[in-house]
Amino acid sequence: MTHSDQPTPLQSRASGPLTGKVQVPGDKSISHRALILGALAVGETRISGLLEGEDVLNTAKSMQALGATVERTGNFAWSVRGVGVGGFAEPKAALDFGNSGTGCRLVMGAVAGCPISAIFDGDASLRSRPMRRILDPLEKMGAKVVAGGEGGRLPLTVQGARDPLPITYKTPVASAQIKSAVLLAGLAAPGTTTVIESEASRDHTELMLKHFGADIMSVQEGQHGRRITLVGQPELHGATVVVPADPSSAAFPIVAALIVEGSDVVLSDVMTNPLRTGLFTTLREMGASIEESEVRGDAGEPMAQLRVRASKLRGVEVPPERAPSMIDEYLVLAVAASFAEGTTIMRGLQELRVKESDRLEATAAMLRVNGVKVEVSGDDLIVEGRGHVPGGGRVATHMDHRIAMSALVMGCASDQPVTVDDTAFIATSFPDFIPMMRSLGAEFS
């Protein structure tokens, strides 16, 4: 189970200044990839700072089911002994990814390059989400979908390729999940697998593949795109991975500190990969005080300490080409925009419609029910900021952890409390969100 059978509502109300130093959980994207590549490597991979939320733990269980040895060795510390590229064993039962689209789609890619069958399943939310655009390139590589729901929905059975084919594939949208699935399948193919993106998506898979010993190259393609080439059938070696703090999780205390008067919050070791920091760029354009210090890096991923102080924000226009670098952060950006002075226009958000919920409509509904003027125009979100939010609404989360956290952040500074209908799903990505926010001074009850 990925949530309790009984909803767990929560109310957030205006608090005094938020203060303190915290470290948000390890990055979810890096955690998934460290487990999967550790399982495809030869030897031991040691991971520290792993996000121990339900999504990542389901990926760990799937790696065990596919034949890798996966053990927790301490707090956020894990060891993986891999089976080598193409070495997955056929699992005895369905692989259950709960609420995690990332884990499910990446493992589909890894399984597609192995001569095994595996059943992929998840919770009601994940079963409703489209998989066809992941399956299309994998089928070109020789994998087959032998059973599945309408439109390639879960539960479905993937028969991996006995002799996977290298392909050149142009992604239809900027999606790290599509790119990563193709690259993970391409590990087992002879020759060179190429992925072409017209808009660059987050590059964690490329950086980590290199860290594990793969021969991979990424070059600019056009104005905003990338061409990634991977030489197949490498022997990946076990590696040490330090997982930086997740910028998508850091987004919530950052926005809370910006909108609650007098706040001064420090966050440690936050990933600052430029393909993940569109939110920080946008907030600074809005007038946010976000200072970086103690910059360092691991496995190709930069990280820094961030100091965030309450700021008067102004409306801005966010260009569509920034969407891939902040796709998960638009929900909480919409909260910041609600407290800004003036109009904020967020363009090109079509990808939000195929997340845990239709996040575009769910975000607009969250704002409207709390007295914010908002419009969805095509794939654009337009928020009329008035410097304050009336609040007083009850937010429907639609089983979506980011809607729940964004609404709780809104309540930290709204005129009236904000109620969230169910907070159980927060555990999928940020199990300690509520106690951490309370430790900074947030009032949740």
Indicate the pLDDT class of residue 300, thresholds 50, 70 and 90: confident
Tell me how far apart the alpha carbons of residues 419 and 396 are, in angstroms, rounded to a whole number: 9
Tell me how far apart the alpha carbons of residues 50 and 31 are, in angstroms, rounded to a whole number: 5
438 in a known ligand binding site: no
Question: In this structure, what CATH number is given to the domain that contains residue 360?
Answer: 3.65.10.10
pLDDT at 3 over 80: no
For residue 299, what pLDDT is reported? 77
**What is the average per-residue pLDDT within 242-270?**
97
331 and 184, same domain (yes or no) = no
49 and 163, same domain (yes or no) = yes
For residue 357, what pLDDT is reported? 65
Domain range for 346: 10-16+273-289+313-444
- Quick one: which of 136, 85, 137 has its CA closest to 114? 85
Does 21 fall in a domain? no
Q: Could you give the number of structural domains in the chain?
A: 2
175 in a known ligand binding site: yes
User: Higher-confidence residue: 369 or 327?
Assistant: 369
Per-chain mean pLDDT for the chain: 95
pLDDT at 2 over 70: no
pLDDT at 4 over 50: no
Does 307 fall in a domain? no
The identity of residue 238, as a single letter, is G
Does 142 fall in a domain? yes
User: Higher-confidence residue: 282 or 428?
Assistant: 282
Tokens of 371: 């007295």
158 and 278, same domain (yes or no) = no
For residue 145, what pLDDT is reported? 96
61 in a known ligand binding site: no
The answer to whether 254 and 298 are in contact (CB under 8 A) is no
347 in a known ligand binding site: no
**What is the average per-residue pLDDT within 41-56?**
95
Of all helices (H) and strands (E), which one includes residue 298?
strand 289-298
188 and 335, same domain (yes or no) = no
- H helices within 220-329, ranges in order? 247-259, 278-285
pLDDT, tens digit, for every residue of 180-225?
999 999 999 999 999 999 999 989 999 999 999 999 999 999 998 9
Does 239 fall in a domain? no
**What is the average per-residue pLDDT within 42-64?**
96
Of all helices (H) and strands (E), which one includes residue 427?
none
pLDDT, tens digit, for every residue of 81-118?
999 999 999 999 999 999 999 999 999 999 999 999 99
Does 251 fall in a domain? no
- Quick one: which of 160, 157, 103, 159 has its CA closest to 126? 103
429 and 327, same domain (yes or no) = yes
CA angle 335, 338, 339 (to 5 degrees): 100
281 and 218, same domain (yes or no) = no
**What is the average per-residue pLDDT within 50-62?**
95
- Quick one: which of 411, 325, 326, 329 has its CA closest to 366? 411
Cβ neighbours of 378 (radius 10 Å): 10
The answer to whether 101 and 175 are in contact (CB under 8 A) is no
- Quick one: which of 51, 45, 54, 46 has its CA closest to 23? 51
Indicate the pLDDT class of residue 119, thresholds 50, 70 and 90: very high
**What is the average per-residue pLDDT within 307-317?**
98
| Residue 327 per-residue DSSP state | G
pLDDT at 13 over 80: yes
42 and 120, same domain (yes or no) = yes
423 and 364, same domain (yes or no) = yes
User: Higher-confidence residue: 324 or 60?
Assistant: 60
pLDDT, tens digit, for every residue of 367-414?
999 999 999 999 999 999 999 999 999 999 998 999 999 999 999 999
283 and 197, same domain (yes or no) = no
101 in a known ligand binding site: yes
SS3 breakdown of the chain: % helix, strand, coil, rounded to 5? 35, 30, 40
In terms of C-beta distances under 8 Å and separation of at least 24 residues, what long-range contacts does 348-351 make, across chains too?
Answer: 348/319, 348/320, 348/321, 348/323, 348/379, 348/380, 349/323, 349/379, 349/380, 349/381, 350/173, 350/379, 351/173, 351/174, 351/175, 351/323, 351/324, 351/327
For residue 358, what pLDDT is reported? 86
The identity of residue 267, as a single letter, is L
Cβ neighbours of 418 (radius 10 Å): 29
List, by residue number, the catalytic residues: 328
Does 205 fall in a domain? yes
| Residue 190 per-residue DSSP state | S
pTM of the full structure: 0.83
- Quick one: which of 401, 271, 409, 263 has its CA closest to 337? 409
User: Higher-confidence residue: 129 or 331?
Assistant: 331
Strand 44-48, strand 240-242: pairing: parallel
Tell me how far apart the alpha carbons of residues 125 and 404 are, in angstroms, rounded to a whole number: 15
For residue 149, what pLDDT is reported? 85
Which of 234, 254, 281 lies at the terminal end of a domain, its last residue? 234
Tell me how far apart the alpha carbons of residues 150 and 128 are, in angstroms, rounded to a whole number: 10
248 in a known ligand binding site: no
Tell me how far apart the alpha carbons of residues 383 and 30 are, in angstroms, rounded to a whole number: 32
CA distances from 109 to 69, 149, 409 (A): 20, 18, 35
32 and 96, same domain (yes or no) = yes
**What is the average per-residue pLDDT within 299-305?**
89
72 in a known ligand binding site: no
For residue 56, what pLDDT is reported? 95
193 and 280, same domain (yes or no) = no
Does 417 fall in a domain? yes
For residue 356, what pLDDT is reported? 63
20 in a known ligand binding site: no
280 and 211, same domain (yes or no) = no
Range name among 162-166, 278-282, 423-427, 439-443 with the lowest pLDDT average? 423-427
Of all helices (H) and strands (E), which one includes residue 51?
none
CA distances from 152 to 101, 133, 135, 148, 156 (A): 13, 9, 8, 6, 7
Does 60 fall in a domain? yes
Indicate the pLDDT class of residue 350, thresholds 50, 70 and 90: confident
- Quick one: which of 135, 136, 235, 233 has its CA closest to 192? 233
For residue 5, what pLDDT is reported? 60
